[in-house]
Structure 1
């Protein structure tokens, strides 16, 4: 049961850091979520938004960070 508690605390801390980073990025004026390549459709009574380019950019950034962390731990 202690293992589960540690995992939940770790995930909570990770979400806290991710929220702080998102707030800081929002204040810098970076157009995350409004990049060219993000799919947006607005109809009369329907709107659809999928941030495709933003997801790809964030995936690349997370991959680079994890790659650097894995080499740093060696």
Structure 2
């Protein structure tokens, strides 16, 4: 359980760092991705994008 929590947390960090590049592909704008502005800063919580990318990585790992 802790291992999955750690993997999801790391995936959120990596996805947030790569988001400007991934937004050109449509990742980060899915229903379930939460974005809001507070005090002039934009905060993004890409939950749906993280799940989608995790599924893709899982399927690629299963094939190889």
**Normalised TM-score (structure 2):** 0.55
Residue-by-residue CA offset, 1:10-39 (whole Å, 9 max, x unaligned): xxxxxxxxxxxx67x93xxx4211100001
Greater strand fraction, Structure 1 or Structure 2: 2
Task: Work out which structure has the larger RCO, using CA pairs closer than 8 Å and 6 or more positions apart in sequence.
Answer: 2
Matched, 1:37 2:32: yes
Please report the RMSD computed on the Cα atoms of aligned residues, expressed in angstroms: 2.6
- The 2-side partners of 1:44 and 1:66 are apart by 41
Q: Note the residue ranges of structure 2 that are not aligned, 5 or more in a row.
A: 1-20
- Segments of 4+ moved more than 4 angstroms: none
The 5 Å alignment of 1:1-74 reads 26=24, 30-69=25-64
TM-score in terms of structure 1 length: 0.49
Find the structure with the greater CA-based Rg. 1
Residues paired across the two proteins, number: 45
